[in-house]
């Protein structure tokens, strides 16, 4: 009985590894605009957007948080706002993958700065990271050359 369970678990682990490699191969690429990774203690924070290139209007921001770049940081409360506005908007945690999503209105991608507030759950420890949206445009233009 335990042998059958062990075989199923090994098969599921193999499928998960193959799926991870497949999705990693589809992500990024030369033409995909990116933001520089920011660090807070041992947490690495990466920002992605939908659409991939930020334009004026409603943009979905995805905050990817990983401990030492490997383990999902899922014990966070993440809030977003454009710098200059007063209201923080809490992001929605996407499972326990260290991914947090929120749609935010962008007025001017060349001047706006996204503020990302990270707070550890059940703690007062927090940090605000700033992502100038213009940095993404510069990297997108250099990637196109």
Condensed to tens digits (0 to 9), the pLDDT of residues 38-87 reads 999 999 999 999 999 999 999 999 999 999 988 999 999 999 999 987 89
Long-range contacts of the stretch 120-126 (C-beta < 8 A, 24+) = 120/75, 120/76, 120/77, 121/75, 121/76, 121/77
Q: Which CATH number covers residue 47?
A: 2.60.40
Distance CA 77, CA 29 (A): 30
Give percent above pLDDT 70 in the chain: 72
- Give tens-digit pLDDT for 1-11: 555 655 555 55
Residues 76 and 138 occupy one common structural domain: yes
Predicted structure pTM score: 0.73
Co-location of 75 and 138 in the same domain: yes
Question: 57 and 128 share a domain?
Answer: yes
The answer on 97 and 82 residing in a single domain is yes
**Whether residue 136 sits in one domain with residue 66:** yes
pLDDT at 14 over 50: no
Domain range enclosing 25:
1-30
**Structural domain count, the chain:** 2
Q: Is 135 exposed, middle or buried (0-12, 13-18, 19+ CB in 10 A)?
A: middle
């Amino acid at each position: 009985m335990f042998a059958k369970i062990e075989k199923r678990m090994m098969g599921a682990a193999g499928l998960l590894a193959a799926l991870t490699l497949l999705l990693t191969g589809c992500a990024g690429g030369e033409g995909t605009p990116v933001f520089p990774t920011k660090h807070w203690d041992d947490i690495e924070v990466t920002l992605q957007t939908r659409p991939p290139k930020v334009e004026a209007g409603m943009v979905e921001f995805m905050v990817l948080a990983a401990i030492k770049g490997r383990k999902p940081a899922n014990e966070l409360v993440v809030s977003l706002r454009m710098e200059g506005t007063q209201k923080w908007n809490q992001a929605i945690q996407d499972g326990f993958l260290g991914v947090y999503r929120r749609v935010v209105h962008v007025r001017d991608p060349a001047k706006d700065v996204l503020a990302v507030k990270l707070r550890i759950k059940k703690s007062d420890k927090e940090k605000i990271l700033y992502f100038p949206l213009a940095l993404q445009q510069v990297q997108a233009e250099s990637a196109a050359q």
